Amino acid sequence: MDFSFPKEYQLFRRMVSDFAENEVRPLAKAVDREHRVPLETVKKAAALGLMGVPFPQKYGGMGGGEMGYCIMMEELGRVCTSTATVIGAHTGIAAMSIYLDGTEEQKQKFLVPLASGRLIGAFGLTEAQAGSDAAAIKTTAVRDGNHFVINGAKVFITNGDIAGIMTVMAVTDPSLGAYGGITAFIVETDTPGFSIGSLENKMGIRGSSTAECVFQDVRVPKENVLGQFGAGFLTFMKSLDIGRASLGAACLGGAQAALEGCMEWTMAREQFGVPVATKQSVYFMIADMAAEIEALRSMIYRTAWLIDTHQPHIKEAAICKLYGSEVASRCVHKAMQIHGALGYSRDYWVERAYRDARIAEIFEGTNEIQRVVLASNLFRPYGMRIPS
Amino acid sequence: MDLTLSEEQSMFKKMFADFCTKEIRPKGEHIDQAEEPPEDLLAKAVDQGFWAALVPEEAEGCGMDVYTFTLMLEELARADMSTALILSVHNCLVVKPLLLYGSDEQKKRYLEALALGEKLGAFALTEASAGSDAAAIKMTATRNGSDYVLKGSKNWVSNGSLAGLFLVFARAEGGITAFLVEPETAGVKVGYREKTLGLRGVPANTIYFDDVHIPEANRLGAEGKGMEIALKALSLSRLGLAAIALGATERSLEEAVQFSIEHIQFGGPIALKQIIQNYVADAKTQIEALRSLVLHTAWLADSGQDFGQEASIAKLFGSRVAYEVTNRMLQVHGGYGYMKDYAIERYYRDCRALEIIEGTSQIQQFLIARDIYKAQGLEIRP
């Protein structure tokens, strides 16, 4: 057992931290207020190799594995949840799905531009009537010679309007259901017939875009089938399984930043003639934050290690997302309480952190779905099937 | 013991519900998104008697008992929390102290204007360095002949830019003292409006008092009585916030139940999922417990008993329930709950204020514990 980070990962963390402080933090407030994606930051991240951290260098990545990727997401989560969301959806689920199940040609053609940051990726799963019930998608892909013709609409797609490449899940045989009847495709968004519907007006992560993506007779060459024909649901679920660990890492960063901000404030703010840090009602909240954050940190990096060493990790990744999002929510709730009225003001970081944190309990599988994933994986060895 | 509503209370409740549902509810989204104080609705609310809720009938008011008043706030909050809070501040924190402590002359001068919608009340206690520690206020009231000169500034004054009358607390020779100050008085300046997470229809301003000359006739109560006046007003207002929490959670539950019936996943409405049913059942349980607490506290007030501790309990419990229920009901909505197209997104942000304003939860905990220990002969300090 060795819990220390190897030297190169320590150096990597310092590099990402510098980037986050110098390039991401100065824009965090503005992108939230102006409701815009910080594309200039994405460009700078690409120049540093931060758009493909987990992937091998031969695919344009940094070769940092899940460990490196979680380190980056933690550091980004500290300063700007929106930026973490943009880079996270691009890397952790969109590019990841191609890395996991793409052919060598597909990786060269699509993963390389994604990992190097020349193009932004999006993950096209959710539909209006298919959220938690992901297998209920209605988007179809029909074979036409050497092409598939995709029709349908995806909603709540992070990066949808800025993506060059989108992995899309579509029904190819309605009679076969989730396993066998759904296929994954790689879609270049400049293909005719692809368009953006409405953009969502969200409570938080307002520096990331959430788009409706419409497919009207979008013709995709058959070479763009991702993974085995009919096995698209599995490809997407595998990507989500891994994505959950890094999502938890972003929550870890957010929670840690809340803790540090609270410590600073409680030492400076005086009421009743003393710093509020000396009040038990206050420092117990801080102690609880620290306890949960340390437990989460152990969970995140143990799961990253499981993934990097190719061990089973589905339960652990679900726990990272479930526990991570709840810890982050509890920490920002306490942070707002500790800051009183100031915490409720949009002039201060707490308010944005509070809105931003709430999404992590919902997206990439609500926390209810994480519990379904956990329970079904716990009972499966006993032959017990858990319905959703 | 009889918990049924009297005929008069039932009539009021129906009137509140009709007006709030018809007039206010459709405006909630706009008030939030435009961050616009609902001045048109407040004007309409005058005819409903909402500005004069607590004013006795002999003074041309509505003469509601406290319980009926909580029903009013509950229905307002069910329609829109910003409107509810504005009227709660006006009635609990300005009209009520004037009724309790005002001289006949002061009542004659201000009560009618407050009751008839000419002057909206605002309560100016908090300062930059005096939040939870309200007694640490620095604003001064210096005697100058028959006048007082007010000097200082107040923060987070709800209703600030709309106010026609401020109840201001300042340090005079005899201790913290309350004053009635009209915004037109020379030296009063309405400053920065806070940008907030929620309750975006309530203007919360910094108010500057720059050598404001106030006649002695505008002092409310005796010198040094200020904290007593503030605390008494805050007790009623805390009960009011609990009633607002009640209305807000009822609305949130209603939104989530509707959504869960309409939203189909896994081949049926999500309402058929056990976890959704559990969330809804827990919310209903919390709401009914809160209702009992509000009812009990209002009964204490209406029967002339001391209700300060119960009001703190109702505020502490109500604000916690408001957070937990809105949080859960948002979760029922999934991704839709995070979008501004759905009322639950707004209620989640609005309700978060309740754990902070008019005494944080930590201050309520202190007040409750202080009373418990006081009964045992032990004095505790914050």
Nearest by CB to A272, from B133, B345, B355: name it: B133
Task: Give the largest Cα separation in chain B, rounded.
Answer: 79
| Cα dihedral B355, B358, B360, B365 in deg (nearest 10) | -110
pLDDT in tens, A252-285: 999 999 999 999 999 999 999 999 999 999 999 9
> Contact, B54 vs B323, CB < 8 A?
no
What average pLDDT does this structure show over A125-147?
96
C-alpha span between A124 and A126 (Å, rounded)? 6
Query: In terms of pTM, does the model score above 0.90?
Result: yes
The tokens describing B21, both together, are: 């549902």
Identity of the residue numbered B169: F
Closest CA to A111 of A62, A159, A149, A148: A62
Contact A361 B331 (CB under 8 A): yes
Going along chain A from its start, the domains and CATH numbers come out as: 7-120 (1.10.540.10), 122-231 (2.40.110.10), 234-382 (1.20.140.10)
Mean pLDDT (chain A, rounded): 97
Task: Give the largest Cα separation in chain A, rounded.
Answer: 79
CA B266 to chain CA centroid, nearest Å: 42
pLDDT in tens, B160-219: 999 999 999 999 999 999 999 999 999 999 999 999 999 999 999 999 999 999 999 999
Nearest CA in chain A to B263: A129
pLDDT at B340: 97
Phi-psi map region of B267: left, alpha, beta (phi>0 left; psi -120 to 50 alpha): left
Contacts of B382 in chain A (CB under 8 A): 272, 279
Going along chain B from its start, the domains and CATH numbers come out as: 7-115 (1.10.540.10), 121-222 (2.40.110.10), 227-374 (1.20.140.10)
Residue to mutate among A85, A333, A334, A344, with most B CBs inside 10 A, is A344
Identity of the residue numbered B338: Y
> Contact, A140 vs A109, CB < 8 A?
no
Whole-number percent of chain A with pLDDT over 90: 99
pLDDT of B1 > 80? The answer is no
Q: How far is CA A62 from CA A51, B88, B96, in A?
A: 9, 58, 67
Active site residue B29: no
pLDDT in tens, B34-72: 999 999 999 999 999 999 999 999 888 999 999 999 999
State the SS3 of chain B.
CCCCCCHHHHHHHHHHHHHHHHHHHHHHHHHHHHCCCCHHHHHHHHHCCHHHCCCCHHHCCCCCCHHHHHHHHHHHHHHCHHHHHHHHHHHHHHHHHHHHHCCHHHHHHHHHHHHCCCCCEEEECCECCECCCHHHCCCEEEEECCEEEEEEEEEEEECHHHCCEEEEEEEECCEEEEEEECCCCCCEEEEEECCECCCCCCCEEEEEEEEEEEEHHHEECCCCCHHHHHHHHHHHHHHHHHHHHHHHHHHHHHHHHHHHHHCEECCEEHHHCHHHHHHHHHHHHHHHHHHHHHHHHHHHHHCCCCCHHHHHHHHHHHHHHHHHHHHHHHHHCHHHHHECCCHHHHHHHHHHHHHCCCCCHHHHHHHHHHHHHHCCCCCCCC
C-alpha span between A177 and B244 (Å, rounded)? 48
- Contact residues of A toward B, CB < 8 A: 126, 129-133, 136, 156, 200-204, 270-273, 276, 279, 281-282, 333, 336-337, 340-341, 343-347, 351, 354-355, 358-359, 361-363, 366-368, 371, 387-388
Q: How confident is the model at residue B307 (pLDDT cuts 50, 70, 90)?
A: very high
What average pLDDT does this structure show over A204-231?
98
Q: Is the Cα dihedral A116, A253, B197, B248 positive or negative?
A: positive
> Contact, A314 vs A297, CB < 8 A?
no
What average pLDDT does this structure show over A358-382?
97
Length of chain B: 382
Secondary structure (DSSP) of A16-39:
HHHHIIIIIHHHHHHHHHHT---H
Secondary structure (DSSP) of A281-331:
HHHHHHHHHHHHHHHHHHHHHHHHHHHHTT---HHHHHHHHHHHHHHHHHH
H or E segment at A168?
A: strand A165-171
- Contact residues of B toward A, CB < 8 A: 126, 129-133, 136, 155-156, 194-198, 264-267, 270, 275, 323, 330-331, 334-335, 337-341, 345, 348-349, 352-353, 355-357, 360-362, 365-366, 381-382
Q: How confident is the model at residue A388 (pLDDT cuts 50, 70, 90)?
A: confident
pLDDT of B97 > 90? The answer is yes
What average pLDDT does this structure show over A198-215?
98
C-alpha span between A283 and B176 (Å, rounded)? 31
Closest CA to A221 of A134, A313, A158, A141: A141
Q: Distance, in angstroms, between A368 CA and closest chain B CA?
A: 8
- The residues, any chain, with a CB within 8 Å of residue B244's CB and separated by 6 or more, are B73, B74, B76, B77, B81, B84, B85, B88, B318, B354
Nearest by CB to A346, from B196, B348, B365: name it: B196
pLDDT of A96 > 80? The answer is yes
- The residues, any chain, with a CB within 8 Å of residue A259's CB and separated by 6 or more, are A286, A289, A290, A293, A331, A335
pLDDT of B222 > 80? The answer is yes
pLDDT at B159: 98
> Contact, A135 vs A233, CB < 8 A?
yes
pLDDT at A361: 98
pLDDT at A1: 80
Contacts of B340 in chain A (CB under 8 A): 201-203
Nearest by CB to B265, from A132, A200, A281: name it: A132
Q: Hey, which residues does B169 pair with through a beta bridge?
A: B178
Burial label for B378, CB within 10 Å (0-12, 13-18, 19+), is exposed
What average pLDDT does this structure show over A352-374?
97
How many CB atoms are closer than 10 A to CB A20?
Answer: 25
Burial label for A190, CB within 10 Å (0-12, 13-18, 19+), is exposed
CA A1 to chain CA centroid, nearest Å: 29
Mean pLDDT (chain B, rounded): 97
Length of chain A: 388
Instruction: Quickly tell me which residue has 């306890």 as its tokens.
Output: A291
What average pLDDT does this structure show over B102-124?
97
What average pLDDT does this structure show over A327-342?
98
What average pLDDT does this structure show over A143-163?
98
The bridge status of strand B121-124 relative to strand B165-172 is parallel
What average pLDDT does this structure show over A141-164?
98
> Contact, B175 vs B222, CB < 8 A?
no
> Contact, B364 vs B312, CB < 8 A?
yes
- Asked casually if ipTM beats, i.e. exceeds, 0.90, the reply is yes
What average pLDDT does this structure show over B234-257?
98
How many CB atoms are closer than 10 A to CB B100?
Answer: 14
pLDDT at A244: 96
Closest CA to A117 of A41, A171, A173, A190: A41
